[in-house]
Homo-oligomer: A and B are copies of this chain.
Amino acid sequence: MCELLGMNANVPTDIRFSFSALAQRGGGTGPHRDGWGIAFYEGRGARAFHDPQPSAHSEIARLLRDYPLKSKIVIAHVRRANRGRVALENTHPFTRELWGRAWTFAHNGQLKGVKKRSLDLYKPIGTTDSEHAFCWLLGQLRARFSSLPSPDALDQALGELCADLGALGVFNVLVSEGRTLYAFCNKKLFYLVRCWPFGVATLIDEDLRVDFSTMTTPNDRVVVVASSPLTRDEVWLELPARTMTVFRNGQLIPHAPKSADQRSAAP
């Protein structure tokens, strides 16, 4: 299995505090030593760092713990390989272009039989289930919409497609097109919203404590999503299962459409 970390904020925000905790879990306080990666959106662009080395001992991770890259959307992943050998091409997050936007995808779980789903335009470079699922997802989106649809239409379509993939196994996933952070969970994913009045937080995995009130303005809002809580003195909420949760501008979008299987289960 693996661990995920996502961030969505309404102002460019420094992820180093949360990333330090995740990086420790890659071969330090956690067993996810089979590579790691992180993608930062800056405007329409995204830059990703990948390393097949354990993040707890990675020179590149050390740089990112020291160097403040600010972003409104970040997706990070530490890997414990199950399908696909330890190799750069199997290291999440995966990225592809669709409709002139940079898409990023990271997955925790296993999807039984996903490789039987045929692919058309997007093909995996590596051998993971996860990249195959991502290629399938983008192919389906492209078949539904010839250009970037409205946020509501995209939220709805992604919710349906992720519910479909989630029927194949454990599918905790973070996806973004640079505007929205999508989090789909069918097993375990937590989140919190940091907003005014900001307080103090202490990492679980490392002796690191931050007073957010000294580095924020009253209008700042930051959502953090993680496979398990990263701090000991904040309230982390579990994401609802089998549902697409949508974050934009540092807020949970409350009326995100439900996934198809939920709607059909309604009375």
Query: Counting CB contacts under 8 A, is A89 at the interface?
Result: yes
This chain's copy number in the assembly: 2
Q: Mark A114-128, 1 if CB is under 8 A from B, else 0.
A: 000000011111100
In this complex, the interface size class of chain A, counting residues with CB under 8 Å from chain B, is: 20 to 34
Task: Please report which residues of chain A, range 48-62, place their CB below 8 angstroms from some CB of chain B when the two chains form the complex.
Answer: 48-52, 59-60
Chain B residues near A100 (CB, 8 Å)?
A: 123-125
Binding site for B on A (CB under 8 A): 42-52, 59-60, 63, 67, 87-91, 95-97, 99-102, 121-126
* Contact partner, A121, options B67, B102, B121, Cβ 8 Å: B121
Chain B residues near A59 (CB, 8 Å)?
A: 63, 67
Q: A60-B63, A63-B60 are in contact. Are A44 and B97 (CB under 8 A)?
A: no
Chain B residues near A49 (CB, 8 Å)?
A: 47, 49
* Contact partner, A45, options B60, B89, B95, B96, Cβ 8 Å: B89
Contact A126 B45 (CB under 8 A): yes
Taking the nearest CB of chain B, how far is it from the CB of A150, in angstroms? Answer: 18
Instruction: Beyond the given A42-B87, A45-B91, A63-B63, please list 17 additional residue pairs across the A-B interface where CB-CB is below 8 A.
Output: A42-B52, A43-B87, A44-B125, A45-B88, A45-B90, A45-B126, A46-B88, A47-B51, A59-B67, A60-B67, A96-B97, A97-B122, A97-B125, A100-B124, A100-B125, A101-B125, A102-B125
